[in-house]
Amino acid sequence: MIRGVRGAITVKEDNEAEIISATEKLIRQMIEENQMKADQVASIIFTVTEDLKSTFPAKAVRGIEGWRYVPVMCMQEIPVPVSLKKCIRVMMHVNTNTVQEDIMHVYLEGAEILRPDLNITKQA
């Protein structure tokens, strides 16, 4: 069964180092919370708000041991005027037997407001 695992994080600045660091932190916590291995992941979609232009957050996946061949793609969020700023969102498509309600979605660094009903993870 393929399940979607959601996550999001915000950054303070639009610069490559901060975007990569924050994205890697988010991905690593998503991996840990859901006990995922790279070969279980069909693909990962990243979106960023229009105020983040310095780099592709998907580059962060390449820094994680064993995740080199996971297909990744980046897109821009719809620029809704009241949306959370400087936000990186992630949707992982994971092959798992975990039931939908037991998937651990991860929201960090101010992104918790996006889905407080789903953010049931331990904060790092």
Q: Which pLDDT band holds residue 123 (cuts at 50, 70, 90)?
A: very low
Helix, coil or strand: residue 31: helix
The range of the structural domain enclosing residue 24 comes to 2-114
Residue 60 lies in a domain: yes
Judge whether 122 lies within some domain: no
pLDDT at 117 (0 to 100): 74
Among 50, 56, 34, 117, residue whose Cα is nearest residue 84: 50
In a domain, 9, yes or no: yes
Number of domains in the chain: 1
Distance (Å, whole) CA 90 – CA 9:
9
Q: Do the beta carbons of residue 59 and residue 20 sit within 8 Å?
A: yes
- Name the nearest CA neighbour of 105 among 1, 2, 9: 9
Using CA atoms, how far residue 72 sits from 1, 15, 124, in Å, is 20, 20, 25
Query: What is the reported pLDDT for 122?
Result: 47
CATH of the domain at 57: 3.30.1330.40
Q: Which residues are annotated as catalytic?
A: 6, 62, 74, 77, 89, 107, 115
Model pLDDT for residues 35-86, shown as the tens digit of each residue: 999 999 999 999 999 999 999 999 999 989 999 999 999 999 999 998 999 9
Comparing 124 with 111, the larger pLDDT belongs to: 111
pLDDT tens digit sequence for 21-34: 999 999 999 999 99
